[in-house]
Amino acid sequence: FEGSCFLGTPTGYYLFDIDQNSVKSFTDLRRRTGNIEISAYCTEDDGRLWIGTAGAGLYLQERAGQPRVFYRSGNSGEDYILNIENDENFLWLGTLNGVIILDRNSGKVKARYNTNNGLPYNRIDQICLLGNGRAAIATKTDRIYTIGIEGGVSSQSGIMRGPTMNVISSCFRSNDGSIWAATAGNGVFEFRGDTVISYTRAEMLLSDYCYSILADSLDRIWIGHERGFSCYDRQAGTMKTYSTGFARGGACNPAAMYEAPGGRILIGTTQGLMVYDPEKDYKSREAPRNNINFISVNDVRYPWKKSFNLPYKKRYRINISYVGISFREPDKIYYQTMLDNWDDDWSDWSTDREVTVSPRDGRFRFSMNSMNEEGLSGTPVSFDLVIRTPVWRTWWFMFLSAAAATGLVIFIVRQREKAQKRLEQYLKTELEARTEEVVRQKGEIELKNVEITDSISYAKRIQTSILPDLNKLKETFSDAFILFRPRDIVSGDFYWFDRFGDDKFMLVCADSTGHGVPGAFMSMIGSTLLQDIIGRQHITRPSVILKTLDSQLFSTLNQNIELGVSNDGMDMVVCEIGLRTGHIRFASAMRPVVMILGGEFLYVKGNRSSIGGESFTEKFFDDQEYYLKAGDSIYLFTDGYPDQFGGKDGKKMKIARLKSLIEEVSNLSMDEQEKKIANFLDDWQGENDQVDDILMMGIRF
């Protein structure tokens, strides 16, 4: 139909003469299709017409004939057709239940796409054919989805971002291959490869609600809105809007734009057909005239003048009203403003006719300019604004303040220096006095320490004289040793031995409570009591000796319940050795005995009761008896040796390590054993302090 086009309505179609701008005829399809509402149309070059219905499927009307059903699926969503596009071999149907691709000759379904196989949403408002058997779809999504006869669903990598979820109401492909998507609320998006470009009201779009879109032969993008449309000239980079002729409530219909010969744009609206003829589009040759209406300072209005001088105030709210006077479409004048010495650059173009600023003190110049839709801008108008600087922000006040502050700091520093010197002199005098006092007291302490040390050293001579001579032990046992190391000058550990007649030898190894002077007192008491019990009372059975010693020590120290409980006491081993028979009998209070009998290592524990200390219950001490043969050895020791801290980890030696050491050196002579045991102790202790008195005795039978 040269010079004519179809205008589709829900009831039928008009044949419209584009050149004459008049309707040729009307065909009532609703009557021919059984009163079915028409929802989509698509024409063929040969005059055939494809008719989409609202629930009854797809109809075909030949150039001469009645409409007939071409495709109907029986699915109400698929039979509601919103858009029809055709290519050489196939029909593409956008429905309420996805996309259906039909063979245009047989009517068979070639492919079907919906949310079950990759689409984000089932309602398809428009299909944009891309060639090579693929198409883009308009639906509810955040990106462009494409579908194909072969190859399934794919999506562009770029994402459309907006304040609300994007509903693509229409899409179109421009001459350079870019896909344009019109959305209901977020403006227009251009998909140029992987790049997404957004166009909104900020880019002078008439509205962010866009219902139809078209790219014409001159590479201009036409966007239909409610009550108007926009045109974006891609080559010039300008946006122009049109709203004349739209009555209240009028809006562009979805996917209802067509470029007719001669560059005329046909736009279907809710109020009928609108035709844009570029030859009749008058372009303004005159720029708007700029004018500042008034200035409001804190809600007090003043007429405009070249300069405003205001006293200092912490905060001003200055409202400036302006206008660009143009007699052609005055509502399409755009404005920009700048406040020198406050703004970095001119503001973006907008339709706002006033601006509010709140500068602080200083000198400013406010300027405004306007521009019409043709891009013509007038001469900027401006006025000076002075807000006087307060006294405390003037240069001379700040200089005087800085000088005063500097002087005050210098004064304070010097006063502090004087005070510091006085304090240093006072401290020096006090230090000298205290030093003199400390030196005097040090001398007194050193003198007393010498006296105490001399006294303790004399006590050591007394304690040493009480302890039996090692030679007396070696007269009976030639192979024997005593390792004796007091922690302090005097010791709480002590030993006692004596020979009675030709057959009996008594041997004692004891550890008194404490060490140093208190321990030495206990050791002297213990030695004296043992001498009395064994030497004078002639008690030689070890268990009886311990029992008697416990009783006498308790009596000697007044350790009774009425005067309070004391823990003073001692641990010890008492041995009775038969020199002829090798019979050995010993009893122990808290101390073990180690023996090597016939090459066999033997560790014997004692009773779990100490001599002295608490005495709430009766104590029992058991005799243990063995026979020694020539070459057998016996070892007695206090807890000082195994309790010594040392080694690489600084831990206690413990009894297990001592037992291993004794077993290791037991084949050596007693003198060599003493050296080995002493050297091992020195190596173990290292730099650590000795923690207790150390006593170890060894004899070979």
pLDDT for residue 562: 53
Pick the CATH number of 76-280 from 3.30.365.10, 2.130.10.10, 3.40.190.10, 3.20.20.450: 2.130.10.10
Nearest 5°: phi and psi at 333? -95, 135
**Residue 511, phi then psi, degrees to nearest 5:** -130, 110
pLDDT higher than 90, residue 219: no
* Three-class DSSP category at 486: coil
Q: Check residue 297 and give its pLDDT.
A: 87
Instruction: Select from 3.60.40.10, 1.10.1050.10, 3.40.50.300, 3.40.1410.10 the CATH code of 467-700.
Output: 3.60.40.10
Taking alpha carbons only, the member of 183, 173, 77 closest to residue 139 is 183
The predicted pLDDT at position 616 comes to 62
Q: What is the pTM of this model?
A: 0.48
Q: How many CB atoms lie within 10 A of CB 90?
A: 19
Domain ranges within the chain, ordered by starting residue:
1-72, 76-280, 289-393, 404-466, 467-700
Of 314, 326, 351, 357, whose CA–CA distance to 336 is shortest? 351
> Rounded to a whole number, what is the distance in angstroms from the first to the last CA of the chain?
140
**CB-based contact 496:524 (threshold 8 Å):** no
DSSP assignment of 78-90 equals TTBEEEEEE-SSE
Region of 418 (left: φ > 0; alpha: ψ -120 to 50; beta: rest) is: alpha
pLDDT > 90? residue 621: yes
Q: What is the pLDDT of residue 629?
A: 94
> Out of 3.30.470.20, 2.60.40.10, 3.40.1690.10, 3.30.950.10, which CATH number does the structure's domain 289-393 have?
2.60.40.10
Q: For the ranges 23-27, 275-279, 572-576, which has the lowest average pLDDT?
A: 23-27
What pLDDT, on the 0 to 100 scale, is given for residue 678?
95
Q: Say what percent of the chain tops pLDDT 70.
A: 95
The chain-wide mean pLDDT, for the chain, equals 87
CA proximity to 504, closest of 544, 538, 467: 538
pLDDT tens column, 479-502:
999 999 999 888 889 999 999 988
Where does 193-313 show beta strands of DSSP type E? 195-199, 212-215, 220-225, 228-233, 238-242, 252-259, 265-269, 272-276, 289-297, 300-303, 307-310
Please give the DSSP secondary-structure letter assigned to residue 468.
Answer: P
Residue 270 confidence (pLDDT) above 70 = yes
Q: How far apart are CA 135 and CA 44, in angstroms?
A: 19
Ranges 244-248, 461-465, 480-484, 487-491: which has the least confidence: 244-248
For the cut 80, the answer to whether the pLDDT of residue 441 exceeds it is: yes
- Is a pLDDT exceeding 90 seen at residue 298? no
Q: Which of 104-118, 146-160, 198-212, 332-346 has the lowest mean pLDDT?
A: 146-160
What local confidence, expressed as pLDDT, does residue 542 receive?
A: 96
Under the banding of pLDDT at 50, 70 and 90, the label for residue 662 is very high
Q: What is the pLDDT of residues 518-536, one digit of tens each?
A: 888 888 888 899 999 998 9
Q: What is the pLDDT of residue 2?
A: 63
**What percent of the chain has pLDDT above 90?**
38
Tell me the average pLDDT across 308-322: 84
**CA 306 to the chain's CA centroid:** 57
Tell whether the model's pLDDT for residue 617 goes beyond 80.
Answer: no
